A and B are shown apart, each in its own frame.
Chain A
Amino acid sequence: MERPARAPIAHALVIGAGIAGMQAALDIANSGYPVTLVEKLPSIGGRMAQLSETFPTLDCAQCILTPRTVEVGRHPNIHLITYAEVEDIQGEPGHFRARIRRRAAGVRWDICTGCGACIEKCPTRVPSDFDMGLGRRKAIYTLSPQAVPNKPVIDKEHCRYFTQGKCRVCEKVCPTGAIAYDQEDELLEIEAGAIILATGYELYDVTRLGEYGAGQVPDVISGLAFERLLSASGPTAGKIRRPSDGREPKEVVFVQCAGSRDPEKAMPYCSTICCMYTAKHAMLYRHRVPDGQAYVFYIDIRTAGRRYEEFLQRAVEEDRVLYLRGKVSRIFRDGEKVVVWGADTLSGQQVEIAADMVVLATAIVPRPETRRLAEMLGIEVDAHGFLREANPNLAPVSTCRPGVFIAGTAVGPRDIPETVAQASAAAAKVLSLFARWQLEPEVEYAGQS
């Protein structure tokens, strides 16, 4: 390998702007170094922006997240590029070059004021991914009213102008002339000395859970969809309404480990956070629907975190959530009910519950594109596609490649506190590299983990 002629570049590239990527970017930026933060979606925050309240404190997720997203959006040292993906990375530690494709938003963000007039008047409605299909958004949209940046993009697959050649309503109503249907993708090249990957997670595809209705029963939803029902800014404004007929469900069954801990058919590992968020869901459901009954099916309950067990006990004792130890074998629709068959292994009995709604705690799985990025960077992923640490004990945020670090749920299932701690650790690793380069700019880069 030829030795780079120039001094290493003290500029970080962070890929993924969930809570992990944001935290890492802020830590580096607050230390005075420039950061480029690339996010695939139109705005930042990741999954945390979809959550209602967070365990174990029941903080409003949006309220604790918004100050962070705003800070990232305004930070002089953070160059935020949303609606963009990293296409290619070349070079060496200290001298990476990344090619970033910023998708055409159809809106000139440089002159858009974020007034929202276009969104209000757009006649096209489509199911919203952000609301997990439970709500609808317009063809020109932002992910949420608190979006950072608060600038819309046009969904070309559904926009009438792009599909049928007429409409242009948004163009007519925009006071600044920001709509630009013919905008093209933009290619940007940036140089960075170090990279942090924080591309987050997906949920196990419910259509692969045939025994739980394979996504065909409308009132069987994922935990993330339930977060949207609980969220004050969600499609039901925080009221618990079941998708099929909009009625308030009086009996709700929560099924833990859906797709987790199932080496034969699904993922073999424990997704670590779902015992806790299920307790949270059942508790919040009981607060919203005091005459409702919540059942939780579990294999065993894993509450290994500070104040987590106490949180669970509160759900059981104060909120009278009924925990049943056993697995659910079948979920199917019977008229207006969703029937759940399961076992209660403590009483040794089979249980049948004719419920109104079922919430599946589906497994946390890596995003498929994380694997592609890892290949591009020459770092490893595990058998499932989670990023692999250089050493799981002693180098949990480093990778086999110097200068490339990892954080958050892209490395494995974890909750927000652990994600944030890891992100700060990855940022510290980057900062220690930068500090060294500053002291001895002429030294050849030597691996550090």
Chain B
Amino acid sequence: MRYFYFPGCTLETKAVGFNRSAKEAAGALGVELVTLPEWNCCGATFPLSTDNVLDLAGPARNLVSTAEAGGDTLAVACATCFNVLRRTNHFLRKHPDTLEKLNAFLERPQPYAGQVEVRHLLDIFVHDVGLEAIRRRAVPGLGGLRVAAYYGCMLLRPADEIALDDPERPGIMDALLAALGAEVVDYPHRGECCGAYLTVKSPEASMPMSYRILSAAGRAGAQVLATACPLCQFNLDWLQARLRQQYASYQPLPVMYFTQLMGLAFGLDPAGYGFEQHYVDPRPALAQAGVLGGIRSP
């Protein structure tokens, strides 16, 4: 299985552990991720005013490049990039007039016709590789590590455009984690917003939002929380020092990328996974669950 892969700015710079674990975990499942030649920033937010065609040009250029390179699928790991690229594609498919303008602007030899499919790695792993194959590959597995799957907004909404899972009751990441040998915990806030960019300007607003998610996952017995979004990871991870000050009984909860857990479950070497960069170091929890032992090289 071979797909063009869009890493995105954050995975290339900050969330390198996400990037590395995603590629390695995919490799272990026989999925080759070929980095899209000359990819560019997705824009980081889907433009709020879609009448400004220029805002769509950035994300669209990646779709065009995929088509020109002969690809029919663009695989994405970062939930936010996935959201922007997928919505852009959806918008262009629905608005032929905008697509025409954009093609005229991009001046590429072949006009883009909306033929590329933007897919998240979760989708590719669960639906193309399949849960059964993942279960078979998951040696040594996660040994019953209790994980809370966290989806946030970007993987789920708007439902008809993203169409990855039911935004009210998502389950695709839960299914993947269970196939890896994790014990997925049930908690109510899988798809609740973590506060997103609010953290930058007014952490006092995003803090209760993140607290709600983390404390519910903790109460449900989670030892780690899994995400697919670098912004969620940052918010949920970084705020915990403050949460500890604010709420006396607060117990820190490591926040990991789901691909890091895949790498561990497959027995890959997590050396480049950047655990040391997490604010709440996941290693003690992983070691306690016996998941850091028995590591083999890829």
A residues with CB within 8 A of B: 209-211, 214, 330, 332-334, 339
Contact = CB atoms under 8 A, between A and B. Distances in A.
A334 B169 contact: no
Contacts of B188: 330, 332-334, 339
B276 interface: no
B12 interface: no
8 contacts: A209-B168, A210-B168, A214-B169, A330-B188, A332-B188, A332-B189, A333-B188, A334-B188
Contacts of B168: 209-211, 214
Binding site secondary structure of chain A: strand
B166 interface: yes
Contacts of A210: 166-169
A222 B168 CA distance: 19
Contacts, number: 15
Interface centre among B166, B168, B189, B216 (most CB of A within 10 A): B168
Contacts of B216: 334
Contacts of B166: 210
A86 B235 CA distance: 61
Interface string B126-159: 0000000000000000000000000000000000
Contacts of A330: 188
Given A210-B166, A339-B188, 9 more contacts: A209-B168, A210-B167, A210-B169, A211-B168, A214-B168, A330-B188, A332-B189, A333-B188, A334-B216
A333 B168 CA distance: 14
Nearest to A339: B188
A333 B167 CA distance: 17
Contacts of A211: 168
A211 B166 CA distance: 10
A135 B188 CA distance: 28
B91 to A, nearest CB: 18
A215 to B, nearest CB: 10
A332 B169 CA distance: 11
B204 to A, nearest CB: 16
Nearest to A212: B168
A330 B187 CA distance: 13
**5 shortest A-B CB distances, which residue pairs?**
A210-B168, A332-B188, A210-B169, A211-B168, A214-B169
Nearest to A214: B169
A330 B169 CA distance: 11
Nearest to A217: B188
B274 to A, nearest CB: 33
A214 B189 CA distance: 14
Interface in B169-214: 169, 188-189
Contacts of B189: 332
B26 to A, nearest CB: 30
A70 to B, nearest CB: 46
A211 B169 CA distance: 7
A334 B188 CA distance: 8
Nearest to A264: B160
B172 to A, nearest CB: 14
User: Most chain-B Cβ atoms within 10 A of its Cβ — which of A209, A210, A333, A339?
Assistant: A210
Contacts of A332: 188-189
Nearest to B168: A210
A334 B217 CA distance: 11
A115 to B, nearest CB: 47
Interface in B83-116: none
A333 B189 CA distance: 11
Contacts of B167: 210
A211 B189 CA distance: 11
A332 B219 CA distance: 14
A360 B169 CA distance: 18
B194 to A, nearest CB: 16
Contacts of B169: 210, 214
Nearest to A211: B168
Contacts of A333: 188
Contacts of A339: 188
A330 B189 CA distance: 10
A325 to B, nearest CB: 23
Nearest to B170: A210
Contacts of A214: 168-169
Contacts of A334: 188, 216
Nearest to B189: A332
A440 to B, nearest CB: 58
Interface string B16-58: 0000000000000000000000000000000000000000000
Most buried by A among B166, B167, B169: B169
A383 B216 CA distance: 42
A112 B166 CA distance: 51
A395 B219 CA distance: 60
A264 to B, nearest CB: 9
A272 B189 CA distance: 33
A211 B188 CA distance: 10
Contacts of A209: 168
B180 to A, nearest CB: 24
Nearest to B166: A210
B178 to A, nearest CB: 17
Nearest to B187: A332
